[in-house]
Chain A
Amino acid sequence: MTNKTKGVEFPTPVSLKKTLLLALPMMLFTFMMLSAGKMPTDTNKIISLAVTFIFVNTIFFLMLYREKTDKYRAILFISYAVCFVISFISNLIEIRGSMAISQENLLLCKTPFCHIVIPMTIIPLALSKTIIFPGTMIGSFASIASMLIIWIGASLALGRGFCGWVCFFGGLDDGFSRIFRKPMIKHINPKWHYLPFAVLLVTALTSAMLLTPTYCEWLCPYKTVTEYVEVTSIKILIQTIIFVALFLGLVIILPMLTKKRTQCGLFCPFGAFQSFTNKINPFEIRINQVTCVKCKQCIRICPVFSITEETLNTGKTRFTCIKCGKCVDACPKGAICFHVKGTPLTGNADTFRLLFLYPAFLFLVTMAGSNIQDAIIRIIRLITTGSMF
């Protein structure tokens, strides 16, 4: 349903009562996830829990009330990434005294595991039942087993929606891609869309050959804002220069110039790998061929190059779609919608969207919640005591 004012179409808000009713279950679940089942006693923790709870539920309420997905998802997703960086770096400095991973931590396998390593561990894992990463299997912060479980859960529930709703790094290039109103680089050769698959192939094979996660060692730009190996040799110095350069290029500059998530859409091997999980996931984005007027707005705004002229003609997206909902929000004719595979395309688009939003939003809140709460506590500490630690 839409209203028209001065030639601009915008969705009519759904009724307040219906929205509250739909938001109520999410309020209960988010409270359960954010509080981890118990009320904190510390004042700072109570404040951060309350602020996070109100913040995330306002976002969800607006998502339902205004019927916009990406607009509000992006606010939470970007906040999540920023808070993750604040929380992670503060924790590292608190525990280790530095962002750098010492040689001792590497030797004693005390490195937190990250989902981006998963594609590189698959071949050795299948053949030798071992993980090629200097982490802990179980019982520590970001242990390998817990990250694998989160990845399996997210893949089953959201497919590559992981990149739009779960990844703690994705919000960084998403954020930078929204800084300017118009892109300065409008055309990117479609051949580049295959680069993440090449990076995936090369890093998976070299990792299996060298028995070390080569992407993490040489290419991961996000080490700039998390942790990196302390520079003790020329080799590590070169690796450091590479990842800082990639961070500046792929996460800051190119997203600003292209208004695309260039790291996620043009480089990330995990994103390429995660695309295959879209095949086993019940949700997809569909384009109604009858109402679509081929204005190509969706092609222009898709952050990960998942809609092309070819896919537009088939009514589907590429299998790299991250289900962020940006195209759904932007389509002037309302021709794009979330869809549940196997069901008729003529089904209720609102129902499809809700069926996707509940698991996706709850996943996002659960992952983001602890980071946002921790970041708020640290900011309160900084204001009241002058130190984040």
Chain B
Amino acid sequence: MGRFKSILGYTSAVLTFFIVLATFLGLNYFSAKLVSVTGIKVSPRFTGGEVVKIVDHKTYTTLIHRPVFDGIIGERKDGFIQIIWERRDGWPQVIEEKIDYNGDNVEDFFIHIETKTGKAMLTAYNPSVTGIEQTYVIKTGYAARILLKR
């Protein structure tokens, strides 16, 4: 038994050197495999979730993400929806848009953004819409996270 444990010990010790080599030489391969095999992804709390609707305006495009209520077990009471406005051929002075985030053909809120200052105002039609979490000026345009409640 002692001899067997000893052989096992020495073998695992030598193997560690090859683990180090494999870690770095196969870093890209193993990273890709880790993602594809396990299916892990960045939490939608950070990415904003998948884009579910694209509204094409003349000079800009509105990307509407899915509502994010994701928790670690099931869904949470509080969530948000991320909207991104991407510039194409310049901006109007003001972006005004009525958004139906849950696809029931009833508008849920109205958002008004002054493109010069990035200032935003929200009017909620749906009681689940509770306010603006934050607005962001990004390279391609503007983004906002609208707070939602179940």
Please tell me if the beta carbons of A107 and B9 are within 8 angstroms of each other in the complex. Answer: no
Q: How far is the CA of A358 from the CA of B21 in the complex (A)?
A: 11
Which of chain A's residues has its CB closest to B137's CB?
Answer: A104
With known contacts A128-B72, A342-B5, A343-B10, A157–B30 Cβ distance under 8 A: no
Cβ of A119 to closest chain B Cβ, rounded Å = 15
Q: How far is the CA of A212 from the CA of B76 in the complex (A)?
A: 14
Please tell me if the beta carbons of B134 and A158 are within 8 angstroms of each other in the complex. Answer: no
Cβ of B67 to closest chain A Cβ, rounded Å = 15
Please tell me if the beta carbons of A107 and B8 are within 8 angstroms of each other in the complex. Answer: no
- Interface membership of B44, Cβ < 8 A: yes
- Interface membership of A138, Cβ < 8 A: yes
- Interface membership of A125, Cβ < 8 A: yes
How many residues belonging to B are interface residues under a CB distance threshold of 8 Å?
46
Q: How far is the CA of A104 from the CA of B16 in the complex (A)?
A: 41
Contact of B13 among A133, A283, A366 (CB under 8 A): A283
A135 surroundings in chain B (CB, below 8 A): 42
Q: How far is the CA of A33 from the CA of B143 in the complex (A)?
A: 42
Interface centre among A103, A109, A138, A145 (most CB of B within 10 A): A145
A144 surroundings in chain B (CB, below 8 A): 42
B13 surroundings in chain A (CB, below 8 A): 282-283, 340, 355-356
Please tell me if the beta carbons of B17 and A124 are within 8 angstroms of each other in the complex. Answer: no
How many residues belonging to A are interface residues under a CB distance threshold of 8 Å?
54
B34 surroundings in chain A (CB, below 8 A): 145, 148-149
Contact of A150 among B27, B32, B47 (CB under 8 A): B27
Q: How far is the CA of A208 from the CA of B8 in the complex (A)?
A: 38
Contact of B35 among A133, A138, A208 (CB under 8 A): A138
Please tell me if the beta carbons of B41 and A129 are within 8 angstroms of each other in the complex. Answer: yes
| Bitwise interface map of A from 120 to 157 toward B, beta carbon under 8 Å scored 1, else 0 | 00011101111111111110000111101110111011
A342 surroundings in chain B (CB, below 8 A): 5-6, 8-9, 12
Q: How far is the CA of A103 from the CA of B82 in the complex (A)?
A: 14
- Interface membership of A13, Cβ < 8 A: no
- Interface membership of A363, Cβ < 8 A: yes
Identify which of residues 85-106 in chain B touch chain A, using a CB-to-CB cut-off of 8 Å.
none
B16 surroundings in chain A (CB, below 8 A): 156-158, 281-283, 355, 359
A344 surroundings in chain B (CB, below 8 A): 2, 6
Identify which of residues 1-44 in chain B touch chain A, using a CB-to-CB cut-off of 8 Å.
2, 5-6, 8-10, 12-14, 16-17, 19-24, 27-28, 30-32, 34-35, 38-44
Q: How far is the CA of A136 from the CA of B43 in the complex (A)?
A: 11
Please tell me if the beta carbons of B20 and A145 are within 8 angstroms of each other in the complex. Answer: no
Cβ of B108 to closest chain A Cβ, rounded Å = 21
- Interface membership of B139, Cβ < 8 A: yes
Please tell me if the beta carbons of B42 and A107 are within 8 angstroms of each other in the complex. Answer: no
Q: How far is the CA of A342 from the CA of B35 in the complex (A)?
A: 35
Please tell me if the beta carbons of A146 and B19 are within 8 angstroms of each other in the complex. Answer: no
Q: How far is the CA of A144 from the CA of B136 in the complex (A)?
A: 24
Please tell me if the beta carbons of A211 and B10 are within 8 angstroms of each other in the complex. Answer: no
- Interface membership of B149, Cβ < 8 A: no
Q: How far is the CA of A137 from the CA of B47 in the complex (A)?
A: 11
A150 surroundings in chain B (CB, below 8 A): 23, 27
Q: How far is the CA of A157 from the CA of B22 in the complex (A)?
A: 11
Q: How far is the CA of A211 from the CA of B22 in the complex (A)?
A: 33
Please tell me if the beta carbons of B9 and A366 are within 8 angstroms of each other in the complex. Answer: no
With known contacts A130-B41, A156-B16, A282-B12, A137–B35 Cβ distance under 8 A: yes
Contact of A107 among B70, B71, B136 (CB under 8 A): B136
- Interface membership of B119, Cβ < 8 A: no
**Can you spell out 5 A-B residue pairs with CB atoms less than 8 angstroms apart?**
A108-B138, A109-B47, A133-B42, A149-B23, A281-B16
* B interface residues with partner A (beta carbon < 8 Å): 2, 5-6, 8-10, 12-14, 16-17, 19-24, 27-28, 30-32, 34-35, 38-48, 70-73, 82, 134, 136-139, 143
**Nearest 5 Cβ contacts at the A-B interface:** A153-B23, A342-B9, A145-B31, A342-B5, A130-B43
- Additional A-B contacts beyond A157-B16, A343-B6 (8; CB < 8 A): A29-B21, A128-B72, A132-B45, A137-B40, A137-B42, A282-B13, A343-B9, A356-B13
* A interface residues with partner B (beta carbon < 8 Å): 29, 33, 103-104, 106-109, 123-125, 127-138, 143-146, 148-150, 152-154, 156-158, 208, 211-212, 281-283, 340-344, 355-356, 358-359, 362-363, 366
